[in-house]
Amino acid sequence: METKDLMKKATMFHGHLCPGVAIGVLAAKFFLKYGFEHSPDEELVAVVETNNCSVDALQAILSTTYGKGNLIHHDYGKNNYTLYSRRKQKAIRLSLKPSIFEDKKLSRDEKIQKLLSLEPEQIFTIKEVEYDPPSMATIEDSVPCEVCGELTMSSRIMNYQNSNMCIPCYKQFKK
Ligand SMILES: [Zn+2]
Ligand SMILES: [Zn+2]
């Protein structure tokens, strides 16, 4: 797919057009070109080091999503994107080059246009990295919290004074 089409898909999901989404689109474009196909289940794992707009492009295009658990966020505030393929058993890390917005006078629209005219290799430092993938998500039973009655995944239930409690209720009692 061309950048323009990928951009359309990502913008629809994200809600607006912005430089962040353009960066994410270029990252996704690189991974697709590299043969990391989009991930209906947990074939891919994305590890992102930012929570900015760019991450939505990966979710929209590669289907590495928060809901499926194959999007892992480290809150480091860096435009770094690592993608692991379970099939290839390989991880590639993209890191945004510092020189990208050296020209500080660029407007938001100019930044978007500039990004969309470039290829991923021009904006990212790309390297293969070691990555130990998380185990696949499992389906867990939920049980009602004995305090508020709300269904809670059993792995998140706290036992306090012989009662099974959800985390918010447990925090109330512990105060
Ligand atoms: Zn945005
Ligand atoms: Zn509760």
What is the 18 CA–ligand 1 centroid distance (Å)?
A: 5
Q: Which residues fall within 8 angstroms of residue 90, CB to CB, at 6 or more apart?
A: 84, 128
What is the 20 CA–ligand 1 centroid distance (Å)?
A: 6
pLDDT tens sequence across 23-61 = 999 999 999 999 998 889 999 999 999 999 999 999 999
Predicted confidence at residue 136, as pLDDT, reads 85
What is the 161 CA–ligand 2 centroid distance (Å)?
A: 14
Q: Examine residue 137 and state whether it is found in any structural domain, yes or no.
A: no
Q: Examine residue 134 and state whether it is found in any structural domain, yes or no.
A: no
pLDDT tens sequence across 91-102 = 999 999 998 878
> What is the dihedral angle through the alpha carbons of 128, 48, 9, 17, rounded to the nearest 10 degrees?
-120
My answer on whether 120 and 153 are in the same domain is: no
In whole angstroms, give the CA distance from residue 158 to residue 22.
43
Domain boundaries, position 109: 3-129
User: pTM of the predicted model, to two decimals?
Assistant: 0.88
Looking at per-residue pLDDT, the higher value among 81 and 138 belongs to 81
What is the 70 CA–ligand 2 centroid distance (Å)?
A: 27
My answer on whether 116 and 170 are in the same domain is: no
Instruction: Report yes or no: 13 and 37 within 8 Å, Cβ to Cβ.
Output: no
Within 13 A of 119's CA, how many CA atoms are on the CB side? 4
Q: Examine residue 135 and state whether it is found in any structural domain, yes or no.
A: no
Predicted confidence at residue 24, as pLDDT, reads 98
Q: Examine residue 89 and state whether it is found in any structural domain, yes or no.
A: yes
From the CA of 151, the nearest ligand is 2
Q: Examine residue 116 and state whether it is found in any structural domain, yes or no.
A: yes
- Whether the predicted pLDDT of 154 surpasses 90: yes
Instruction: Report yes or no: 91 and 130 within 8 Å, Cβ to Cβ.
Output: yes
My answer on whether 168 and 122 are in the same domain is: no
pLDDT tens sequence across 20-31 = 999 999 999 999
Instruction: Report yes or no: 129 and 93 within 8 Å, Cβ to Cβ.
Output: yes
My answer on whether 104 and 162 are in the same domain is: no
My answer on whether 110 and 165 are in the same domain is: no
Q: Which helix (H) or strand (E) holds 163?
A: strand 163-165
Predicted confidence at residue 139, as pLDDT, reads 84
In whole angstroms, give the CA distance from residue 167 to residue 132.
29
From the CA of 157, the nearest ligand is 2
My answer on whether 51 and 15 are in the same domain is: yes
Q: Examine residue 21 and state whether it is found in any structural domain, yes or no.
A: yes
Residue 34: closest CA among 93, 117, 95, 98: 93
Q: Examine residue 168 and state whether it is found in any structural domain, yes or no.
A: yes
